[in-house]
Structure 1
Amino acid sequence: MVDFDGALVYLGAFGKYQKLIYCLTCVLTLPVSMHMLAMTFLDAKVAFHCNVPEIRHAEPGTENYSSKCPFDVINETALGYFNGTNTSSCNHGYWYDTSQYHSSIFTEFDLVCGSSELNQFAQSMFMVGVLIGAVGSGQLSDIVGRKKTFFLGILMQLIFGVAVAFSPNYTLFVVFRAFVGASASAVFLPCFVIGTELVAPSMRTWAGTVGEIFFAIGYMLLALIAYFIRDWRTLQLVISVPNAVFLFAYPLIIESPRWLLSKGRDEEVAAIMRRAAKVNGVTLPDEVFTTKKVDNEKPKDERIYTVIDLVRTPNMAKKSLLIFFNWLVISLVYYGLSLNTSNLGGDDYLNFFISGVVEIPAYISSVYIADWFGRPKTHAAYMIIGAVGCIICPFLTAPYLPEGLNALSITLAMIGKFGLTAGFNIIYLFTAELYPTMVRNVGVGASSMFARVGGIISPYVELSKSVWGPLPYIIFGALSFLAALAALLLPETLGAELPVTLEDGENFGK
C-alpha cells in the first residue's frame, strides 16, 4: 500500500496543494455559519401594538409602539398608543414597527405575547437538527466518504434553505430549519475532517483553526448581507442559493486520502500524491508508492468502543464529566451571545459584525497561548475573560448608566465573546489529547453532542430577562466561571505522552 504519511515528509506538513484544496473546501462552508446564526435577523423582534381598525388610517409615522402584553385599549382614538386601564386581546392582529426590519418571522407569524416562546423553540429545533446531522453525517462519511457526504450536505442545504424561504406557516418554517441544521453538520464536519486528514499530525490543530476562521468570515458576511436585505424571506434565499453554484465544485474537491486508504483504494491516493507533488514543486521517491504492509504487524483491536467506555472507570468518568460540562457551557454561552447582539443597544448590524470579527484573533491567539502556557490554565483564563465580560456588560446600559455608554457595554460583551470563542477552539484540541487513542473519536463525538445540547438550551436562557433584564448575561457569566474551575481540575496534556489504551486513559492525570 502507498505511504501517505511518508509522502507528507516531502509534500510538507501543510503544503501548498493541501492549503489550496482545504481553503476551497472551507469557502464552500461559508453558508453554514450564516444559517447557524441567521435567526438574529430571520426572527428580528420589533416594537408592536394592537391593530385598531378605527385608527387604521392614522397619519404614517405617528404610531407609538408599546410592545407590552396585555394591551390597554381604553383610548382607541389615540394613534396606536394604549394607556388606559381596560385590557383586550388583539382580535384584529398587530401593527409592527418596520422602520428597521421590513419583515421577520416575528412579524409575519405574530410571535408575540402568548406566542412569544415560539421564537426560542424555532432556534432550539434548528440545533436539534444540527445534533441529528452530526451523528448521521459522521456515520455516513465513514461509509461513503467525506466528499460525497460533504456535497450531499450542500445539496440538502440548498433544498431546505430555499424551502425555509417559502414556508407558508410557522410549523413548516421550524421543520425546514431543522433540516437545514442537519445539513449544516453534514457540510461543516466532513470539511473539518478532510482538512485534518490532508495534513501531518503536527498541523492538525492549525488546519482545524482555519476552518473556524472561515466560519467567522461567514458570520461577518451575514451581517453585511442582512444590512442590505431587510426582508427575512429574501435574506434566507440569498444565503441558500449560492449552494447551487457550489455543487459545481464537486470535481475540484478531493476525497480524503486517509479514507481512501482505509478502503484499499491505493491507486486514487497515489494519483492525489502525484498531483500534490506537481503543485508543491517536489519529487516523491518511489518507496512512498510501494511501501508494503509489514507481515508481523500487530492485529488491530476489533473491539467496538462506546460512550460507556468514557465513564466506565473513576478517573475517566471524572474527566469526561468535566469535559462534557465545558462543551455544553461553551456552546450555550457562545450561541447566547451571538444571537442576542440586538439586546446590547446601538446598531444591530455593527454589533453582529464586530461579534464575528473578534472570533478571528480569538482562534489564532488561543493556539499560540495554549502551546505556551498549557491547556487547562489557558482554557480557564479565556473562560474567566468570557465570564467577566458577560457579567459586567448589561450593567453598562440603561437604566443603570446613560445610553451614551452603550459602546462600553458592547465592548465588554465582545470581550466575553472573545473569551468564549477561544475556549471553543481550545476545548477541541484539549479533548482530543485527553482521551486515549482507542476512544478518541467516541470522546470527541460525545463531547460534541453535549455542545449541541447547550445550543438547544441556549435560546431559552433569554426568557430569564423577563425576571430581570441582566439575568441572561449573569447566567452566561456564572456558567463560564464554573466551566473555568472545572477545566483546572483536568490534567495538563502539553508535552505529555498521550494515552493510547483505556488503561492509559484511566491512569493519565491520576
Structure 2
Amino acid sequence: MDVDAALLSVGEFGRYQKRLTVTFVLLQIYVACQSMLIILVGAQPKYRITTPEVPSTHEELVKHVVFEDDFTSIATEWYLIKQEAYKVNLAGSLFFVGLLIGNILFGPLSDRFGRKPIFLTGLFLDVVFGFMTAIAPNYEVFALSRLLVGLVNGGMSLVAFVLTQEFVGKSYWALTGSLTNLVFAIGIVAFSVIGYYIRDWRTLAAVANCPGVVFFLLFITIPESPRWLYSQGRTEEAEEGLQYIARRNGNEKIFVQLKPCAGTLKAGQPTHGVMDLMRYPTLRWRTAILMYVWYVCSLVYYGLTLNAGELKGNRYLNIALYGLVEVPAFPLCLYFIDKSWNAGLGICSMSCRIGGILAPFVPSLRSLNPSMPFIVFGIAGMSGGFLGLLLPETLNKPIAESIEDLHTSAYQRLEDKRKKKVESQESTQS
C-alpha cells in the first residue's frame, strides 16, 4: 500500500496524532507572539519636549524629552523619535526580510535533510535569538536579532505546518490547516493580554519567548515524517514510523507494508528542485497564482495587524480585536473545503478581505473616515480570491504523488487506484 492507504489502517487521526496536532497547533501562539512583538516592543509613547526651541541634534533632543505613558519600548530606551523614529519600522521590516529568507531556505532544507532535524534546529535557534532580542545592549544588536528571529521563525513554522499535515490522513488536512491559522489568530489575542500586564519591553520579549523552550522539549521525541521517508525511498523507515504511530494509537495488531514509491529517484536520475516549479507548465501557472495569493494575504494581514498600535483608542484592545475579527473565517473556510469546492474558497477569501476593509474601524468607532490603504488592501484581497477560482479542485480527488502524476488526470489516477484495489482483493481471495 502507499502512505495514504497505510494511514487508513494505522489511523488517519488517532489519539497520538491528535496529541501531535494539538502540540503543533499550540506552537502557533509562540509564533504569533514573535511575529507581533514589534507592535508593543516598538510602540512610541506620548512625549513632550521641555524646551521651547526644537533641538537641532539627537543628543540635544534626548536631554529634553519626557515620556508620559506607563510602558517602555525600544523607542523610550534608545530615544527613537523624530528623525530616529524610522528605526522602529526598520526593525520590523528586518523581521519580515528574515521571514522571506527563512521560507526560501527551510523548505528545500527539510526536503533534503528531513522534517524533524530542520524543524528542531529552527525552533532551538528561534528561542536563542528571541532571548537575544530581550537582552540586546543596543539598537544594532536588537535589529540583528529581529532579522535572525524572522529567518528561523518563518522557516521553522513552515516546516511545522508541513509536519502537522504529514502526520495525519489527507481527509483531515483541512481541519489541521484551519486549526493552525485559527490558533495563530488566538495567539495575537494572547500577546495583547500579555502586553497589557507586562509593560517593560525587555520582560515582555523574554516572557513571550519562554514558551519556545517548552515546545522544544515537547518536540524532541516526535518521529520523522513517514511521508517524507517514503518520498525519499526509505520505505523500511517509513513503515517503522507508521507502526510506531499505530502502536501509540492503540492499534497493536496492525502490520504495515508499503509498496515502492512511484516518485522515488533511481540511481543517476536527476533530482527535482525548485526550478521544476517553472519547468512544468502545470506547476508554473499554479505557482504563479499561489505566489500572488500569498503575497496578497501577507500584504493585507500584516498591513492591517501591524497598524493596530497606531489606531485611536486602547492599543491592547485594538490588537486583541485584530486577532478576534478573523477567528470566524476559519470555520467558514473549513465548511467550504469539506462541503463545497474551490469556488467556495474564493468566495470565502473575498469575504475575509472585505472584512479586512472593515477591521480598522472596529477598534475605534469614533474614526469613520475611509482610508485609501485599506481600500487597496480590500481590492488586492478580492483579486486574490478570484484567482483562487482557477486552481484545480482537490475535494475527493487522489493526490499527485510525483511529477508524472501531474500529467495524468485526477479521474484517471482515481480509476487506476480502483483497479489496483480490485486486483489486490482478487489476488488475496485466490
Band the TM-score falls in, shorter-chain normalisation: 0.7 to 0.9
Amino acid at match of 1:325: Y
Q: Distance in 1 between matches of 2:408 and 2:302?
A: 33
Question: Does 1:482 pair with 2:383?
Answer: yes
Task: State the 1:230 CA deviation.
Answer: 0.7
Amino acid at match of 2:300: V
Question: Does 1:201 pair with 2:170?
Answer: yes
- Identify the residue that residue 123 of structure 2 maps to in structure 1: 154
Superimposed CA distance per residue, residues 243-269 of structure 1 (whole angstroms, 9 cap, x where no aligned partner)? 333333244322212233445655654
8 Å contact 2:134–2:205 — kept in the other structure? yes
Secondary structure of 2:132's counterpart equals: helix
* Equivalent residue for 2:103, pick from 128, 134, 151: 134
Secondary structure of 1:49's counterpart equals: strand
- Identify the residue that residue 120 of structure 1 maps to in structure 2: 89
Task: State the 1:235 CA deviation.
Answer: 0.6
Task: State the 1:170 CA deviation.
Answer: 1.6
Q: Distance in 2 between matches of 1:48 and 1:36?
A: 27
Task: State the 1:228 CA deviation.
Answer: 0.6
Q: Distance in 2 between matches of 1:309 and 1:7?
A: 29
Superimposed CA distance per residue, residues 410-463 of structure 1 (whole angstroms, 9 cap, x where no aligned partner)? xxxxxxxxxxxxxxxxxxxxxxxxxxxxxxxxxxxxxxxxxxxxxxxxxxxxxx
Distance 1:28 1:103, change over 3 A: same
Question: Does 1:330 pair with 2:285?
Answer: no
Distance 1:6 1:319, change over 3 A: closer
Q: Distance in 1 between matches of 2:288 and 2:294?
A: 10
Q: How does 1:118-267 map to 2 (within 5 A)?
A: 118-262=87-231
Superimposed CA distance per residue, residues 258-307 of structure 1 (whole angstroms, 9 cap, x where no aligned partner)? 23344565565444434433443334444x24x5549xx79758455555
- Identify the residue that residue 13 of structure 1 maps to in structure 2: 12
Q: Return the TM-score normalized by structure 2.
A: 0.80
* Structure 2: segments with no counterpart, 5+ residues: 411-430
Distance 1:351 1:9, change over 3 A: same
Question: Does 1:473 pair with 2:374?
Answer: yes
8 Å contact 1:314–1:506 — kept in the other structure? no
Q: How does 1:89-488 map to 2 (within 5 A)?
A: 89=56, 91-93=60-62, 95-100=65-70, 102-262=71-231, 268-286=237-255, 288-289=256-257, 291=258, 293=260, 300=265, 302-305=269-272, 309-311=276-278, 320-376=287-343, 378-387=345-354, 389-390=356-357, 393=360, 405-406=365-366, 470-488=371-389
Q: Distance in 2 between matches of 1:41 and 1:478?
A: 29
8 Å contact 2:134–2:202 — kept in the other structure? yes
Task: State the 1:373 CA deviation.
Answer: 4.4
Task: State the 1:18 CA deviation.
Answer: 0.9
Q: Return the TM-score normalized by structure 1.
A: 0.69
Distance 1:22 1:392, change over 3 A: closer
8 Å contact 1:96–1:107 — kept in the other structure? no
Q: Distance in 2 between matches of 1:200 and 1:330?
A: 27
Sequence identity (%): 31
Secondary structure of 1:252's counterpart equals: coil
Task: State the 1:179 CA deviation.
Answer: 0.6
Task: State the 1:377 CA deviation.
Answer: 5.0
8 Å contact 1:217–1:356 — kept in the other structure? yes
* Structure 1: segments with no counterpart, 5+ residues: 53-72, 75-86, 398-402, 410-467
Q: Distance in 2 between matches of 1:143 and 1:314?
A: 24
Secondary structure of 1:360's counterpart equals: coil
Secondary structure of 2:33's counterpart equals: helix
Q: Distance in 1 between matches of 2:356 and 2:403?
A: 40
Secondary structure of 1:354's counterpart equals: helix
Amino acid at match of 1:343: E
8 Å contact 2:42–2:75 — kept in the other structure? yes
Task: State the 1:97 CA deviation.
Answer: 3.5
Task: State the 1:225 CA deviation.
Answer: 0.9
Secondary structure of 1:99's counterpart equals: coil
Which of 234-243 and 276-285 deviates more? 276-285
8 Å contact 1:216–1:356 — kept in the other structure? yes
Amino acid at match of 1:260: L
Q: How many residues matched? A: 403
Q: Distance in 1 between matches of 2:286 and 2:280?
A: 10
Superimposed CA distance per residue, residues 289-326 of structure 1 (whole angstroms, 9 cap, x where no aligned partner)? 4x5549xx797584555555545688865554443222
Q: Distance in 1 between matches of 2:56 and 2:337?
A: 56
Distance 1:390 1:285, change over 3 A: closer
Q: Distance in 2 between matches of 1:345 and 1:34?
A: 22
8 Å contact 1:29–1:187 — kept in the other structure? no
Superimposed CA distance per residue, residues 117-153 of structure 1 (whole angstroms, 9 cap, x where no aligned partner)? 2222211111111121222222332333222222212
Amino acid at match of 1:10: S
8 Å contact 2:123–2:216 — kept in the other structure? yes
Q: Distance in 2 between matches of 1:108 and 1:360?
A: 35
Amino acid at match of 1:24: T
Which of 261-270 and 31-40 deviates more? 261-270
Amino acid at match of 2:146: R
Distance 1:506 1:112, change over 3 A: farther
Task: State the 1:392 CA deviation.
Answer: 8.5
Q: Distance in 1 between matches of 2:240 and 2:405?
A: 40
